[in-house]
């Protein structure tokens, strides 16, 4: 259960803190009920372990919002640079002799996932939308964009109107597949960085050091189409190296 700070809070901060506290109390009630009654777990769609992880997430969001609200508004940030590509090895060696640690509890990440699991929180979604439409709240969030970004995960899990939420700032990173394991991927990252340090752009390095394994309906590695179902085509950028011979098995894909 959340405990309010006895100090006097600004009105907007008190509203947000109170909203998160009410939502946490509701989730805690569902978690306790599911722990006592397994059938309630099926009805609510939220097991006690996920309820505990969600409560920890709400505490984190509340603390972040309070910290941002208490700090001075920084000057506007410059436009972010284009995101660098992400290198992924084709395999990761696993140690079968050691006992693997238990998998951490992960919350869903899809849009409006919480009302799908717990339909009873639909009222909280409407309350958050009403709060975000309040002119005074909108003015405060516009004055400090960090506050809106702090509320973005909460609005995402509840599924509020996206027009009320700030842009996420998420930047798509080009995925590059590296044949081999973590050592080969680390070597590819170092070679990419060294080539970028010579003044070449990311697109120039990708064109020089990668081969594109296309889907038959794609028209270029930088112009990949979406399938009719909305899923991306299975086209890949494969790292072959900027110097030396082409990696084994990729010669037929090279220019």
State whether 154 and 188 are in the same domain.
Answer: no
Question: Given a cut of 60, is residue 4 above it in pLDDT?
Answer: no
Model confidence at 12, pLDDT cuts 50, 70, 90, reads confident
Residue 134 lies in a domain: yes
State whether 233 and 214 are in the same domain.
Answer: yes
State whether 27 and 49 are in the same domain.
Answer: yes
Which of 119, 141, 164 finishes a domain? 164
How many domains does the structure of the chain reveal?
2
State whether 209 and 190 are in the same domain.
Answer: yes
Give the span between the Cα atoms of 68 and 144, in whole angstroms: 9
Residue 242 lies in a domain: yes
Beta bridge partners of 89: 178
Task: Provide the greatest CA pair distance for the chain.
Answer: 69
Predicted confidence at residue 215, as pLDDT, reads 61
Q: Residue 27: how many CA atoms within 13 Å on its side-chain side? A: 27
Which of 144, 164, 184 finishes a domain? 164
Range of the domain at 223: 175-253
Model confidence at 100, pLDDT cuts 50, 70, 90, reads low
Predicted confidence at residue 95, as pLDDT, reads 62
Residue with tokens 């909108």: 138
State whether 186 and 232 are in the same domain.
Answer: yes
Residue 84 lies in a domain: no
State whether 67 and 113 are in the same domain.
Answer: yes
Which of 129, 164, 199 finishes a domain? 164
Predicted confidence at residue 57, as pLDDT, reads 92
Take residue 246 and report the two structure tokens written for it.
Answer: 């082409």
State whether 143 and 235 are in the same domain.
Answer: no
Residue 103 lies in a domain: no
* Three-class SS of 72-111: CCCCCCCCCCCCCCEEEECCCCCCCCCCCCCCCCCCCCCC
pLDDT single digits (tens) 116-174: 888 888 899 999 999 999 998 888 888 888 898 899 999 999 999 988 888 877 777 88
Alpha helices by DSSP H, the chain: 11-36, 38-44, 48-70, 113-117, 122-133, 135-143, 145-158, 182-197, 202-209
Handedness of CA 221, 223, 225, 230 (dihedral sign): positive
Residue 6 lies in a domain: no
- The angle that helices 202-209 and 182-197 make with each other, rounded to 10 degrees, is 130
Residue 99 lies in a domain: no
Residue 41 lies in a domain: yes
Question: Given a cut of 50, is residue 191 above it in pLDDT?
Answer: yes
Predicted confidence at residue 213, as pLDDT, reads 78
Residue 102 lies in a domain: no
State whether 143 and 229 are in the same domain.
Answer: no
Percent of the chain with pLDDT over 70: 74
Beta bridge partners of 232: 226
More confident site: 102 or 96: 102
Model confidence at 222, pLDDT cuts 50, 70, 90, reads very low
Question: Given a cut of 80, is residue 232 above it in pLDDT?
Answer: no
More confident site: 35 or 72: 72
Model confidence at 231, pLDDT cuts 50, 70, 90, reads very low
State whether 34 and 145 are in the same domain.
Answer: yes
pLDDT single digits (tens) 15-53: 898 899 999 988 887 645 544 444 444 445 677 888 888
pLDDT single digits (tens) 197-221: 999 888 888 888 888 777 655 444 4
More confident site: 238 or 11: 238
**Average confidence score pLDDT of the chain:** 77
Q: What is the DSSP string of 113-143?
A: HHHHH-GGGHHHHHHHHHHHHSHHHHHHHHH
State whether 38 and 127 are in the same domain.
Answer: yes
State whether 155 and 31 are in the same domain.
Answer: yes
State whether 54 and 18 are in the same domain.
Answer: yes
Take residue 82 and report the two structure tokens written for it.
Answer: 């284009």
């Amino acid at each position: 259960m959340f405990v309010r700070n006895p100090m006097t809070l600004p009105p907007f901060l008190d509203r947000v803190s109170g909203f998160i506290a009410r939502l946490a109390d509701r989730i805690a009630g569902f978690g306790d009920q599911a722990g006592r009654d397994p059938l309630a777990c099926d009805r609510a769609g939220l097991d006690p372990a996920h309820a505990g992880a969600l409560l920890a997430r709400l505490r984190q969001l509340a603390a972040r919002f309070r910290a941002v609200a208490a700090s001075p508004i920084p000057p506007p940030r410059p436009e972010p640079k284009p995101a660098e590509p992400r290198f992924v090895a084709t395999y990761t060696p696993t140690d079968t002799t050691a006992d693997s640690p238990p998998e951490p509890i992960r919350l869903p990440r899809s849009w409006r996932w919480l009302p799908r699991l717990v339909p009873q929180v639909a009222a909280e979604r409407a309350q958050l939308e009403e709060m975000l439409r309040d002119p005074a709240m909108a003015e405060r969030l516009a004055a400090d964009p960090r506050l809106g970004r702090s509320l973005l995960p909460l609005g995402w899990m509840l599924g509020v109107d996206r027009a009320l939420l700030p842009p996420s700032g998420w930047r798509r990173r080009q995925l590059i597949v590296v044949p081999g394991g973590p050592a080969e991927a680390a070597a590819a990252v170092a070679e990419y960085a060294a080539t970028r340090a010579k003044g070449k752009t990311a697109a120039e390095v990708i064109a020089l050091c990668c081969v594109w394994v296309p889907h038959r309906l794609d028209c270029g590695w930088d112009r990949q189409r979406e399938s009719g179902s909305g899923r991306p085509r299975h086209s890949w950028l494969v790292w072959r190296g900027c110097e030396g011979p082409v990696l084994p098995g990729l010669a037929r894909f090279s220019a």
